[in-house]
C-alpha cells in the first residue's frame, strides 16, 4: 500500500491559504468525522465565530440502496441560522464528490445559505460529479480499493495532531 499523505503538513498548507482570504464572517460546517475535527481546529486557528455546524450525510447518501444504513450515524447539529449565512464546508478527503452533493442537500434542508465554499485536507483523484474544492491541503492518487482514514490525537505533546492511514475500503453493516 502507498504511503498516506502527511496530514499535519496538509493542514498547515490549508490553514495558510485560508489565512490569506477574507472569510472572517464565514460559519464553519464539518462533515463527520474528520471534517468536524478539522472545522473545530480551523475555528480556533482562524478565530472564526462559533459554534461550528456538524453534518452526517447517512440519510442523504445516493448508495443507500446498495449499502443500507451504516452502523453508527453521527449527530447533525447546526447551531446557527443557515438562512443567509456564508458557509465554509469542511471535509478530510474529497474523492468522488458524492459526499459533498449529499452535504449540500442536508444544508439546504436547514435553509438557503448566501453562499457555500468548500475546503478539504486532501483532494484525491477520481471525481464522479462536477464538484471541486476552493481550498485544498494536498493532492493524491490512490487505487480504488484503498481508502484514507483520518485520526486525531487531541492531546499530543505539541497539541492536537492529525494523521492519515491507508486502509482497505469496507462497508459496515449490523447483523446478528
Buried b / exposed e along 100-116 (16+ C-beta atoms within 10 A):
bbbbbebbeebeebeeb
How many helices (H) and strands (E) the chain has is answered by 4, 7
CB of 76 or CB of 120, closer to other proteins: 76
CB of residue 62 to other proteins, shortest distance in Å: 9
CB of 3 or CB of 176, closer to other proteins: 176
Which residues is 93 bridged to in the sheet? 122
Q: What is the DSSP letter of 77?
A: B
Helix 34-46 with 7-19: angle, nearest 10 deg? 50
Backbone angles phi, psi at 54, to 5 degrees: -130, 140
CB of 50 or CB of 111, closer to other proteins: 111
CB of residue 145 to other proteins, shortest distance in Å: 21
CB of residue 96 to other proteins, shortest distance in Å: 18
CB of 72 or CB of 153, closer to other proteins: 72
CB of residue 27 to other proteins, shortest distance in Å: 16
Q: Which residues bind other proteins (CB under 8 A)?
A: 56, 58-60, 64-65, 67-69, 71-77, 105, 108-111, 173-176
Is residue 5 classed as helix, strand or coil in its secondary structure? coil
CB of residue 110 to other proteins, shortest distance in Å: 6
Is residue 40 classed as helix, strand or coil in its secondary structure? helix
CB of 67 or CB of 129, closer to other proteins: 67
Amino acid at each position: 500500500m502507498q504511503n498516506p499523505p502527511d496530514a499535519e503538513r496538509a493542514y498547515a498548507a490549508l490553514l495558510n491559504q485560508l489565512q490569506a482570504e477574507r472569510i472572517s464572517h464565514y460559519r464553519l460546517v464539518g462533515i463527520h468525522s474528520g471534517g468536524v475535527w478539522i472545522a473545530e481546529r480551523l475555528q480556533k486557528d482562524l478565530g472564526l465565530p462559533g459554534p461550528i455546524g456538524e453534518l452526517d450525510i447517512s440519510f442523504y447518501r445516493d448508495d443507500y440502496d446498495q449499502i443500507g444504513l451504516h452502523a453508527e450515524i453521527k449527530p447533525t447539529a447546526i447551531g446557527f441560522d443557515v438562512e443567509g449565512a456564508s458557509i465554509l464546508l469542511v471535509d478530510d478527503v474529497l474523492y468522488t464528490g458524492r459526499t459533498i452533493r449529499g452535504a449540500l442537500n442536508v444544508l439546504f434542508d436547514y435553509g438557503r445559505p448566501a453562499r457555500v465554499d468548500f475546503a478539504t485536507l486532501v483532494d484525491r483523484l477520481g471525481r464522479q460529479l462536477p464538484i471541486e474544492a476552493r481550498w485544498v491541503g494536498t493532492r493524491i492518487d490512490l487505487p480504488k480499493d484503498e481508502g484514507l482514514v483520518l485520526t486525531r490525537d487531541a492531546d499530543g505533546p505539541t497539541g492536537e495532531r492529525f494523521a492519515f492511514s491507508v486502509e482497505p475500503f469496507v462497508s459496515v453493516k449490523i447483523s446478528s
